[in-house]
Amino acid sequence: MGAVPVDHRGRISALRAGAGLLALSRFLHDVPILAAPLADLLQHGPSAPVWRPVHDPDQRVPWTESGHRQT
C-alpha cells in the first residue's frame, strides 16, 4: 500500500502559527524558516530547490538561497 502524500501547505501553516510569537521580534527577519516534504528531499536531495520559505510557501528555493531578503 502506497503512502498518501501530505499537503505541505498544512504543515507550513502550522510552522507559521508556531512562529507567530517570534514575528514580534526580528527573529523571523534575521533567521529564515524553511520546510521541505521528505519525498522531495529523498527524490531530489537536500541541495535541490525543494525548500519552501514559511513566509512564502509557493516559492521553492535551495537551502543555500533561503528566499531571505535583506532590507
Predicted confidence (pLDDT) per residue in 28-57, tens digit:
667 778 889 899 999 999 999 999 887 788
Residue 51, burial from CB neighbour count under 10 angstroms (0-12, 13-18, 19+)? buried
Question: Mean per-residue pLDDT for 8-15?
Answer: 73
| Amino acid identity for residue 19 in this structure | A
Q: Looking at residues 23-27, what average pLDDT do you find?
A: 63
The pLDDT, as a whole number, for residue 11 is: 74
CA distance 12 to 14: 5
